[in-house]
Structure formats: structure tokens, C-alpha cells
Amino acid sequence: MYLISVLGNLLIILATISDSHLHTPMYFFLSNLSFVDICFTSTTIPKMLVNIQTQSKAITYAGCITQMCSFILFSGLDIFLLTIMAYDRFVAICYPLHYVVIMKTQFCCLLVLVSWIINILHSWLQSIMMMQLSFCTDLEIPHFFCELNHLLHLACSDTFVNEVVMYVAAVLLAGGAVAGILYSYSKIVSSIRAISSAQGRYKAFSTCASHLSVVSLFYGTSLGVYLSSAVAQNSHCTAIASVMYSVVTPMLNPFIYSLRNKDIKSALRRLCERETMKVSVVLRLKTCL
């Protein structure tokens, strides 16, 4: 699953870079999302695979803090990029004549840059505050990675300030992102309903169907994890459910965007044909030599 996730997202990045038809804001954001998904899965899965292979569940304190910091960073970037992509679809459908003027290259790069800055600062803040806490020796984390909430529950010192910062950040960042996505799609639905022809409505909806599927999958699985953990209080079930949004969702994203998107399928086909021609030319040259 990890290899499929990495290779699938790499293919989308290569297709977007190599094909000039995909040098648009939508695919620029998609390639950034694919890169973040690779980093997101690489934060936890390689260490888990090493643990399975060596039959050792140990992780150093520094490694644990680094893993937590990386997970907060890339999960936050996932949320922000999905919100930016919702805004991109909102402008494309609700203001199609102004799309080129609004979604300029500089503005798109600025949106991605601001997302990185905000999430880097947030992950550093959480990591620095975590390092101020004291822990007992030989702790066992009831999860397959160093998750912020689980680490707070294992601390020996007072965690009130950390918990306040964690929940405030969740409300401001994740809550703000969800509000942005809901607002964008409420306007998109209103615009689609105003289109008179059924074919026009289908064409408008198809441009954001892939993104809507990814948003539903990501938020549905992550929300299910935290709701189930709050109700059941079963760490084993929570860890299993966390695999859904940290492993399964990034793996399915390339399939969702490639299977439902003619532009991506055409770009991947052209990329494969181009690489096949290069290989055949090299083989012919070696044969001649």
C-alpha cells in the first residue's frame, strides 16, 4: 500500500510537470497535494514497516518528537491544499470569466507558500510545547505512531496549556478549512443549479467531482477516527481507524484523480508512450553497437 501510494502520487507529479496542457492552477495544486501525500505517508509508514520487520516497537524520544512534528505539518498541509482546491473550483465555476485574472501564477504560489508557513509554525509550536513536558521512562504509546493527543495523555507534568493550544489550533485551522470548503461548495451548488441545461450542469459538476470525493474520503475517515475514539475509548480501534486516513486515503487519491479525469489519463498515456520510445531507441542503439 505504501509503494502504491508513493508511485501513484509520483506519477501524477511527473504527468503534471511533463505535460504543458496540465500547467494550470488546478493541476498545480494537485501536484502539490500529491507531494504532501508522499511526505504524509512517509512520516509514519517506513518506521512501522521497520518495526514489523525487526519485531521491535521502540522509538527514541527525538524520533518521536520529529515524527509528531512531521505528521502535524503534512496533515495540516493536506487540509489547507484541499481548501485551496475547493476555492479554485469555486472561482472556476462561479466566476469563469474572471478565472484567469484571479488565479494568476503568483497568487497560486502565494497560497501554497502561506500554507507551508502557517503549518510549519504550527508544527514547531506544538513540538516546542511538547518538549517542555516531562515523561516517565519506558512509556508505551497506544498507537502505531507518535500522535499528539496520545503523547499528552502520557505526560507526567501538567498538560492544560498544551491541550488548550491543541484545541484552539484545531478549531482555527481545521475548523476554518472546513468552513471554507463548505462555503465554496454551497456557492458551487447554487451556481450549478442556476444552469438551465442538464448537460451544462453535469459538465460543471464533473470538474469538481474528483476533489469532492477526496475531501469526503479524507474528512470522513479522520472524523470517524476521532468520533470513535471519543465514544469507544479503545486505543487499538483508534490506531486501526487511523490507518484509513494516514495510509488508505493518500493511496486512493491518485486513483480517484486519474480514473475520473480525462486530462490526467491522457497525460499519463503520453508520458508512458514517451518513455517507451526512449527505451526502444536505447535498445536499438545497443543492438547496432
CATH, residue 78: 1.20.1070.10
Looking at the domain assignment, is residue 109 inside a domain?
Answer: yes
Looking at the domain assignment, is residue 284 inside a domain?
Answer: no
Looking at the domain assignment, is residue 212 inside a domain?
Answer: yes
Looking at the domain assignment, is residue 270 inside a domain?
Answer: no
pLDDT of residue 76: 93
- The rounded average pLDDT for each run of 10 residues, N- to C-terminus, in the chain (289 residues) is 92 87 90 94 92 90 94 94 94 91 95 97 96 85 86 89 92 91 92 82 78 83 64 65 80 80 76 70 64
Indicate whether this model's pTM tops 0.85.
yes
Report which of 91, 119, 56 is spatially closest to residue 207, judged by C-alpha positions.
91
Looking at the domain assignment, is residue 276 inside a domain?
Answer: no
Residues 6+ apart with CB under 8 A from 228: 234, 237, 238, 241
d(CA 276, CA 185): 41
| Grid cell at residue 193 | 443549479
pLDDT of residue 217: 82
pLDDT of residue 279: 65
Task: Write out pLDDT tens, residues 73-112.
Answer: 999 999 999 999 999 999 999 998 999 999 999 999 999 9
Place of cell 508512450: 273
Query: Which residues constitute the domain of residue 227?
Result: 2-261
Residue 184 has, within 13 A of its CA and on its CB side, a CA count of 22
CA triple 53-54-55, angle to 5 deg = 95
pLDDT of residue 275: 67
Looking at the domain assignment, is residue 117 inside a domain?
Answer: yes
In terms of C-beta distances under 8 Å and separation of at least 24 residues, what long-range contacts does 50-59 make, across chains too? 59/146
Number of structural domains in the chain: 1
